[in-house]
Amino acid sequence: MLNTDLHNKCMTNRNRMTKSQFVRNNRGIDKDKSDIPHAILEGIFDSIKVSTVVSIMELSSLSYRSKQW
């Protein structure tokens, strides 16, 4: 969801999830209902913001399209 939110061209910048919203949305999701450390969540956010997550199916599709050119 974060990947789509950050990289979807149809989203406006004012509607994109912020780092603090991402951290808040992921409170209490660890196996014992505790919070994952903020530094880890912030690192995940930063990593996804820098590099979009692409599935194997999407990679295959992109590769196929580039060969058509």
Please report, for the domain that includes residue 61, its CATH number: 1.10.1000.11
**Which of 53, 46, 55, 58 has the alpha carbon at shortest distance from 17?**
46
What is the span of the domain harbouring residue 22? 2-68
Query: What whole-number distance in Å separates Cα of residue 57 and Cα of residue 62?
Result: 9
**What does the pLDDT read at residue 24?**
95
CA distance 45 to 53: 12
For the chain, what is the domain count? 1
pTM over 0.85: no
Give the separation between CA 30 and CA 69, rounded to whole angstroms: 46
Residue 31 identity (one-letter amino acid): K
Each of the 69 residues of the chain gets a pLDDT tens digit; together they read 899 899 888 888 788 999 999 999 999 998 899 999 999 999 999 999 999 888 888 777 765 455 544
Q: Which of 21, 1, 22 is nearest to 11 (CA)?
A: 1
pLDDT attached to residue 63: 56
